[in-house]
Amino acid sequence: MREAHSLVRAKLSTTFQSLTVRNYRLFATGQLVKLIGVWMMFIAQDWLVLELSDDSATALGVVTALQFTPVLLLTLFSGRLADRYDKRLLLLIGNGAWSVLSVAMSILVLSGAVRLWHVFIFAALLGTANAVETPVRQAFVSELVGVRLLPNALSLSAATFNAARILGPAVAGVGIAVLDVGPVFTISAVSSLAPLLMLVQMRPAELHRQELPPIDERDAAKVTDGLRYVARRPDLVMPMALIMVIGMVLFNFQLTLAALAKTVFNTGAASFGLFTTALAVGALGGALASSGRRERPSAYVVVGSALAFGVLGTLVGFAPAYWLVTLLLVPTGFFMVYFAQASNQRIQLSVDPAYRGRVMALWVLVFLGTNPVSAPIIGLVAEKFGAGTSIWLGGLISVAASVVALAWQLRRTGGRIRLRLRPMPRLYVIHAGVS
């Protein structure tokens, strides 16, 4: 019993090792509080759009596109800023702008004056603040903990995000049912102040940061240099390409699950929240499963998790019953985040620190910036052919993309796949070149 207790303690200390760093602990706390509010706002916003648009999945797609269009337009510029200026200061500016906009939106909804076009405008403005903040935040994690703890910190950041996805939708579903959407927007606005308070309390002297270049040399950090850096690295191109394709067709659960709950299963806000919570429970497990990683994940870990995610997404789309969808969303969420984290870690653990901001900006761009193109199309498919079709079609495309990526990786490295039947059936790769 004592030995088992010691093993559990050792596992927990390894899983949450980054939380021993004060600056990271403040960062994670602020992000958790804010993100719970953000997910509450997303649920309330989607429900509000459906109410204002007579259950239009196309309108949901337009809102999602407007949220992510600034990512498409501004993310690479934001990554350049992250490599030239103080990331903590940039995060204060980005989070401050988000808070101001959240308060304004909550006042509009509470007053009863909100119209669909108001939601569209605020989605675009909040997306602009997010486009500035997200690449900087991604690059800032390495300054909080250093390279040694970076894989653990990235996984815990994903765990924070997905813990918020569990709590936020659940609270939002109850809040909408009991209080209506206005108070939910207000709670979200108040929660957005948490990162600002935590950033102010950080100790800049304890950050693991490189010296910023002199003012007259900062123009040398060009966006095109970051693009050329990635283009010369096939090991970065593959996860970038895979996350771009799968991000376009299968990561749109914010849109597709809302449509699935309301138009296919005819459920209320609380049941929609259960869908999102089931996905987030699995996602939290995927994030924690990644937290023990200390080395750069192989290309086959990235491809294998992408393939599993695609298969499960396909099954979710074909599932005929509400309970079965809820059940399948748990492993789907696990591999969704396990794949995203493996891609992120494979990139971050091999990039030159001088290019980190621009490379992570490109990662955010290919992951999230494709939504302005894909979201309206997926919304239209959901409206014309059903929400389930939009999900299983994305799953099949993801499976195909994973198979192509696997074939490309095997050809590039000279690797071969073998099947071992004993003692247990297992696929493995014979390495004949670089990995």
Overall size of the chain counted in residues: 435
Domain with 280 in it = 223-414
What letter does residue 427 receive in the DSSP assignment? E
Note whether 123 and 231 are same-domain residues.
no
pLDDT tier at 392, thresholds 50, 70, 90: very high
The pLDDT value recorded for residue 292 is 65
Note whether 61 and 150 are same-domain residues.
yes
The pLDDT value recorded for residue 420 is 66
Answer whether residue 218 is part of any domain: no
User: Is the per-residue pLDDT at 255 higher than 60?
Assistant: yes
User: Is the per-residue pLDDT at 364 higher than 80?
Assistant: no
Collapse the DSSP code of 285 into the 3-class scheme (helix H, G, I; strand E, B; otherwise coil) and give the result. helix
Collapse the DSSP code of 419 into the 3-class scheme (helix H, G, I; strand E, B; otherwise coil) and give the result. strand
Q: How far apart are CA 41 and CA 36, in angstroms?
A: 9
Closest CA to 139 of 79, 201, 55, 68: 79
pLDDT tens digit sequence for 89-120 = 989 998 999 999 999 999 998 888 888 888 89
Note whether 104 and 192 are same-domain residues.
yes
The pLDDT value recorded for residue 310 is 96
Domain boundary residue, one of 169, 203, 237? 203
Answer whether residue 13 is part of any domain: no
Answer whether residue 188 is part of any domain: yes
Locate tokens 């970076």: which residue?
Answer: 150
Note whether 198 and 246 are same-domain residues.
no
The pLDDT value recorded for residue 1 is 53
Residue 159's domain is classified under what CATH number?
A: 1.20.1250.20
Residue bearing the bigger pLDDT, 191 or 232: 191
What integer is the mean pLDDT of 243-260? 84
Note whether 174 and 255 are same-domain residues.
no
Answer whether residue 2 is part of any domain: no
Note whether 106 and 173 are same-domain residues.
yes
What integer is the mean pLDDT of 67-76? 77
Note whether 155 and 240 are same-domain residues.
no
Chain mean pLDDT for the chain: 81
Q: What percent of the chain has pLDDT over 70?
A: 84
Q: How many CB atoms lie within 10 A of CB 217?
A: 10
Residue bearing the bigger pLDDT, 31 or 355: 31
The pLDDT value recorded for residue 423 is 65
User: Is the per-residue pLDDT at 4 higher than 80?
Assistant: no
Q: Do residues 160 and 282 touch, judged by C-beta distance below 8 A? A: no
Dihedral sign computed on CA atoms, order 237, 238, 243, 245: positive
Quickly list H helices, 53-86. Answer: 57-84
User: Is the per-residue pLDDT at 404 higher than 80?
Assistant: yes
Note whether 52 and 181 are same-domain residues.
yes
The pLDDT value recorded for residue 330 is 94
* Terminal Cα-to-Cα distance of the chain (whole angstroms): 41
User: Is the per-residue pLDDT at 293 higher than 70?
Assistant: no
What letter does residue 426 receive in the DSSP assignment? E
- R_g of the chain computed on alpha carbons: 21
pLDDT tens digit sequence for 135-190 = 888 888 888 887 778 878 877 887 787 677 677 877 887 888 888 888 999 999 99
User: Is the per-residue pLDDT at 212 higher than 70?
Assistant: no
User: Is the per-residue pLDDT at 195 higher than 90?
Assistant: yes
Note whether 196 and 266 are same-domain residues.
no
Answer whether residue 4 is part of any domain: no
pLDDT tier at 427, thresholds 50, 70, 90: low
Calculate the CA dihedral of residues 187, 190, 192, 196 and round it to 10 degrees: -160
Note whether 166 and 279 are same-domain residues.
no
The pLDDT value recorded for residue 435 is 45
The pLDDT value recorded for residue 221 is 54
Closest CA to 242 of 54, 420, 416, 402: 402
User: Is the per-residue pLDDT at 34 higher than 50?
Assistant: yes
Number of domains in the chain: 2
Answer whether residue 433 is part of any domain: no
Answer whether residue 345 is part of any domain: yes
The pLDDT value recorded for residue 353 is 72
Note whether 233 and 97 are same-domain residues.
no
Domain boundary residue, one of 173, 203, 233? 203
Q: Do residues 102 and 95 touch, judged by C-beta distance below 8 A? A: no
Answer whether residue 22 is part of any domain: yes
Note whether 149 and 281 are same-domain residues.
no
User: Is the per-residue pLDDT at 246 higher than 90?
Assistant: yes
The pLDDT value recorded for residue 218 is 47
